[in-house]
Amino acid sequence: MKKEIKVDLDDKSYPILIENGILSECGSFLRRITAAQKIALLSAPAVYKAWGRELLKGLARKRFQPELILISDGEKNKDEKALSRILKRLASLGFQRDGCLVALGGGVIGDVAGLAASLYMRGIDLVQCPTTLLAQVDASIGGKTAIDFAGIKNLIGTFHQPKGVLIDPQVLGTLDNRQFKTGLAEVIKYGIIQDEALFAQFEKRPELILRRDPQILFRLISTSCEIKARIVSQDEREGGKRAWLNYGHTLGHALEAYFHYGVLTHGEAVAYGMWFAGLLSCRLRLCPEIVLRRQIAVLKRMGLLRKLPNFSPEEIYKKMFLDKKARKGRIQFILTRKIGLVTIQKNIAQPIILSALTQLRAEASERC
């Protein structure tokens, strides 16, 4: 199984290559996408221990001899210290404009690597080798880079498209179950916003998905990447439809921040966010109740609705305003019309939002 998908952005276009075992063959891919003379491999210790050798083998086959930069991953390390360490190492290694940074890791490694690559000498080449499902289907594609700053997630960032994205689904074999499921939340999201057949896979084949059957996993990853590539190709800077990718994220980000990032994973928070978006969509009569019920059933079956601790709707409402995607003081929601079709809504009255939050709080704690 092998698939190549193009992110079509004129002179910034790049390929996403998805293939089992491709890490140990990555040298040819790199030779094709970058003319870089010097390569630095950025990773986190545990990821490097698990997959670094495969990648180095692949690079050595094409006579690449990368320098290694290791940093700690985890959201609390996605900060200016990590960024500064990478930039200092690149400088001390004498990297020039013809250098290339290869990121091997999850979303934190990919986001910080992207920011460092965009800043160093006003921009060097970047290659993403994502090792979590979340990073494979979302963070590694589309050129968003970031660190957290002043207590706000992803506050400092740039757009810097990679030269290529190399996805080896085999690496997911070492991913822990909760992290695997957090990535599934984003795949479910792609189904809801664009592709009912993708969503239906979760209704028809839940056991195979949870067992990480290689064929279905390959299909979920490649379909998700195709959807993201298509949306980014049409709207790189999130002026319009790229905002669809934030389905479930308006509340999801607020819940993550409210619980200080330690209680819910990103995918779990987004799962409750999707439930909430479905709830709002029904209340505003944008879709029938069955659309919401199908979403809740799938999220529950995938183990994403663990336990939503008690929260204050008013506090969460305030946090949603802090989200950098709130435009001109208005919270923007992506809502469902049907599975596979969403719409952007900006003017939802505060009492409707607060009352839907109260309903979610009651139903989510009852259900779990």
User: Active site residue: 61, 238, 241, 283, which one?
Assistant: 238
241 is a catalytic site residue:
no
User: Active site residue: 89, 249, 294, 361, which one?
Assistant: 249
Residues written for the chain:
368
C-alpha closest to that of 205 among 306, 338, 301: 301
347 is a catalytic site residue:
no
Burial 74-113 (b: 16+ CB within 10 A, else e): eeebbeeebbebbbebbeeeebeeebbbbbbbbbbbbbbb
260 is a catalytic site residue:
no
Q: Is 137 in the site for ligand GLY (CB under 6 A)?
A: no
Angle at 335 between CA 329 and CA 339, to 5 degrees: 165
- Residue 18 phi/psi, 5-degree rounding, is -120, 120
- Please tell me the distance from the alpha carbon of residue 81 to that of residue 88, in angstroms, as a whole number: 10
- Residue 128 phi/psi, 5-degree rounding, is -100, 125
Q: Between 242 and 300, whose beta carbon lies closer to ligand GLY?
A: 242
Figure out which of the listed residues 111, 125, 138, 226 binds ligand GLY, where binding follows CB under 6 A.
138
3-state secondary structure of 265: coil
Which range binds ligand GLY by CB under 6 A, 136-144, 154-162, 168-176, 291-299?
Answer: 136-144
In sequence order, the 6+-apart residues with CB closer than 8 A to the CB of 279 are 292, 356, 359, 360
Figure out which of the listed residues 38, 78, 89, 144 binds ligand GLY, where binding follows CB under 6 A.
144
Q: Classify the C-alpha dihedral 305-307-313-315 as positive or negative.
A: negative
User: Active site residue: 78, 89, 160, 228, which one?
Assistant: 228
Q: Between 255 and 356, whose beta carbon lies closer to ligand GLY?
A: 255
How many chain residues interact with ligand GLY (CB under 6 A)? Answer: 5
249 is a catalytic site residue:
yes
97 is a catalytic site residue:
no
Task: For residue 230, give the amino acid letter.
Answer: R
Shortest approach of ligand GLY to residue 330 CB, angstroms?
Answer: 19
Shortest approach of ligand GLY to residue 123 CB, angstroms?
Answer: 19
Which range binds ligand GLY by CB under 6 A, 63-71, 138-146, 264-272, 306-314?
Answer: 138-146
| Structural contact between residues 221 and 166, judged by C-beta atoms closer than 8 angstroms | no
Residue with tokens 């996993």: 217
Which range binds ligand GLY by CB under 6 A, 1-9, 137-145, 261-269, 281-289?
Answer: 137-145
Shortest approach of ligand GLY to residue 23 CB, angstroms?
Answer: 23
Figure out which of the listed residues 105, 142, 169, 278 binds ligand GLY, where binding follows CB under 6 A.
142
Instruction: Give me the 231-250 binding string for ligand GLY, x by CB under 6 A, dash otherwise.
Output: -----------x--x-----
Q: Between 171 and 245, whose beta carbon lies closer to ligand GLY?
A: 245
3-state secondary structure of 17: strand
Shortest approach of ligand GLY to residue 142 CB, angstroms?
Answer: 4
3-state secondary structure of 249: helix
- Please tell me the distance from the alpha carbon of residue 213 to that of residue 208, in angstroms, as a whole number: 5
User: Active site residue: 122, 237, 260, 328, which one?
Assistant: 122
Question: Residue 324 has what DSSP assignment?
Answer: T
Q: Between 170 and 179, whose beta carbon lies closer to ligand GLY?
A: 179
Strands 341-345 and 2-7: unpaired
Residues near ligand GLY, by CB under 6 A: 138, 142, 144, 242, 245
Among all residues, which ones are annotated catalytic?
Answer: 122, 144, 186, 228, 238, 242, 246, 249, 253, 266
